[in-house]
Amino acid sequence: MRGDLMDNDTWVRELQNRLDLAFSDPTVLVEAFTHRSFLNENRGYSGEHNERLEFLGDALLGLCVKAHLHSSLHEPEGVMSTMCSMLLNNQSLAAVAKSLGIPPYLRVGRSEQENSDRAQNRLAANLLEALIAAVYVDRGHETAMKFVAEWILPELLHQANDEVLVNPQGELQKLARQRYGEDPQHRVLAIFGAGHNRRFTVGLFVGNKQLGTGEGWSIKAARKKAAQEALEQHFDVAPPSSRSGHQDEAMFFASPPTRAAVSGEAARIIKAAIFLEGSATFKALDQSVQLKIATELAKDAQP
């Protein structure tokens, strides 16, 4: 993210080449990449900040994602709403913005450049929405929807698939409710180090019964590890393997203990995520795994 008044022609040309887009009015692109804080620190600058475009882009992206879910899935509204929430959160949008390489072009004030990672993700997510709106304003609805479909939606779907398939806390909460009648609670048991070197130890409890312990650089990471330990030790849910490729993801989906643990709506969401990632994913799987998945889908189709 930059805070200078670099010659617009230079970075606008770079951006258009990167995104394979030609803007008839480059000032719209400049507006999309200008944060309010940049204007506050450059009073002589006469352009606009990107909040109006962000507002429009949020609606356009939501429309595109919901239209895709509606046309691709024959699922209840609740499942599609869950998928939509997973696709459109700030963390996912920021990851897509970073994959496109656009955050370094955002013009922000110095006060915003030193913010937390969470704040930086928010800026990147908002930037992505503003960019979508800029394409819409300059090139029209068809080009904007094509841009989302080709550049943004595939990456969002891939991330949603990963998020569903690697969610031990959600599995643990459901199983703990079934067995104990209440949700597990986390407690920070220890903090080591200081500043950026801090590590957290977190325990997960139901009442006074400790189900698992995890350690990580953040409380969130430690909770995730504690949830996985609890699943393994108390609910006989084997940990997924590396999950680095489609084969690992599919085996996680197809393994009997995990499949039982994610029955009902969660299983439908997993199947939706696998389906949405495209037929190439399914075709790349081992034939025996394909058969297992097809069998499960056939069961759902039975009256």
At 296 the pLDDT is 52
CATH number of this structure's domain 168-301, picked from the four choices 3.30.160.20, 3.40.50.300, 3.40.50.10320, 3.50.50.60: 3.30.160.20
Tell me if residue 129 is catalytic. yes
Helix (H) or strand (E) holding 3: none
Residue 203: pLDDT band by 50, 70, 90 thresholds?
A: very high
Helix%, strand%, coil% for the chain, nearest 5:
65, 10, 25
Q: Do residues 149 and 64 lie in contact, with contact meaning Cβ atoms separated by under 8 Å?
A: yes
At 220 the pLDDT is 73
The rounded mean pLDDT for the chain is 76
Task: List, for residues 235-277, the tens digit of each pLDDT value.
Answer: 877 665 433 333 333 333 333 223 333 344 445 555 555 555 4
Q: Which of 112, 129, 138, 229 is catalytic?
A: 129
Residue 105's alpha-carbon distances to 114, 130, 169, 241, in angstroms, are 16, 13, 36, 38
Judged against a pLDDT cut of 50, whether residue 133 lies above it is answered with yes
Over its C-alpha atoms, the chain yields an Rg (Å, rounded) of: 22
For the chain, the domains span: 8-156, 168-301
Q: Which of 31, 54, 58, 138 is catalytic?
A: 58
Does CATH number 3.30.1180.10 belong to domain 8-156? no
Give me the phi and psi of 65, to 5 degrees please. Answer: -65, -45
Query: How far separated are the first and last CA of the chain, in Å rounded?
Result: 54
